[in-house]
Amino acid sequence: MRFLALSILLCTLTACEGTFGWVYDEYDNDDDNDNENNIVIKESTVTGQFYLDASDWKMWYYLDLPATIEQIRKDASHNIKEDIVALPIPFEPTGDVETERGDDKRDGQYTYYFDVFNEGIANNHFSSFLPTSAQPEPEHWTIAIHRNNVRTNRLATYETMLTDIDEVTEDMCKSITAWQEDEWSENEVWDDQSTMLSCYVPCQGIKVNRVLSSWLTMDIPPMPPAFSMNNHVMLLRMTDGTYAALQLMDYMNSTGKKCCLTIKYRYPI
């Protein structure tokens, strides 16, 4: 009885704007600070991780990994965010809308019908095409990220079954024969969410890397979309024959926003 009376009294005294705040976790507003975390420089190899808010539907984020690693070697406190270049997806039409699908792989916006409400987005078909200029790119870059899509600058990639980036060895990389390069896509780089509920979603026609992109997949239904993460270590074979490893550690920030990526890297292997 006394316990009840005390509980009621406590409620009344503390309750004006709510209580039980301790039940919840506070937002961590310092997601960006992850950039500085976990940097290990061992001989010539640098291992670390960075945070990237890649949630913008209309933007590609480019990173030149070897150049960044060089900067980190010079200054371990270097912030990778400074190296990331954001370039918008071009939407300005350069021609008329076409409803017949041509065979050529042209730059532009491909609107596809996606069965958002029933069979799911795997069930889709071409609807129209609007030509635009090509995607702008920086002079030097290694990978580009847009939400759950990843491209490489003419690199080859391979998905390992490893989940610890430190277990990757150069010999392992050299023994791999099934490297995969970027492939043309017209229905994967969704760049406008506002038409999603109409089932017609514009997508950028561009080459994507399906190995790296498989680290984060999106499924509809349900609505809102369900994301699933693959934390296998992904390997990159650079144009100069060196190897890098990337691993997606998380795809949400501390407020639950999706496509905010925490990526672990190791270079060179």
Using rule CB under 8 A, residue 22 touches another protein: no
Q: Is 13 helix (H, G, I), strand (E, B) or coil?
A: helix
CA distance 64 to 230: 23
The number of residues that bind another protein (CB under 8 A) is 49
Alpha-carbon distances of 230 from 148, 158, 213, 258, 262, rounded to whole Å: 11, 13, 10, 15, 13
Identify whether the C-beta of residue 192 lies closer than 8 Å to the C-beta of residue 57: yes
27 scored as a contact of another protein (CB under 8 A):
yes
* Residues 6+ away with beta carbon under 8 Å from 59: 86, 87, 88, 89, 146
The residue with tokens 């008329």 is 96
CA distance 190 to 183: 16
Beta carbon of residue 226, minimum distance to another protein (angstroms, whole number): 4
Does position 97 interact with another protein (CB under 8 A)? The reply is no
Nearer to another protein, 202 or 268 (CB): 202
Q: Does 96 bind another protein (CB under 8 A)?
A: no
Rule CB under 8 A: say whether 15 interacts with another protein.
Answer: yes
Interaction between residue 77 and another protein (CB under 8 A): no
Contact between 88 and another protein per CB under 8 A = no
Residue 18 binds another protein (CB under 8 A):
yes
If the CB atoms of residues 123 and 169 are measured against another protein, the closer one turns out to be 123
Q: Which of residues 187-246 bind another protein (CB under 8 A)?
A: 192-200, 221-229
1 binds another protein (CB under 8 A): yes
Least distance from another protein to the Cβ atom of residue 258, Å: 8
For another protein, the binding residues in 40-69 under the rule CB under 8 A are 57
Sheet containing 156-159: order of strands: 40-42, 45-53, 258-267, 243-252, 234-237, 156-159
Instruction: Extract the tokens encoding 229.
Output: 């993460």
Interaction residues for another protein, span 102-161 (CB under 8 A): 116-118, 120
Give the DSSP H or E segment for 124: strand 120-131
SS3 259: strand
In the complex, what is the shortest distance from the CB of residue 180 to another protein, in angstroms, rounded to a whole number?
26
* Chain residues that interact with another protein, rule: CB under 8 A: 1, 4-5, 7-8, 11-12, 15-21, 23-28, 57, 116-118, 120, 192-200, 221-229, 250-252, 254-256
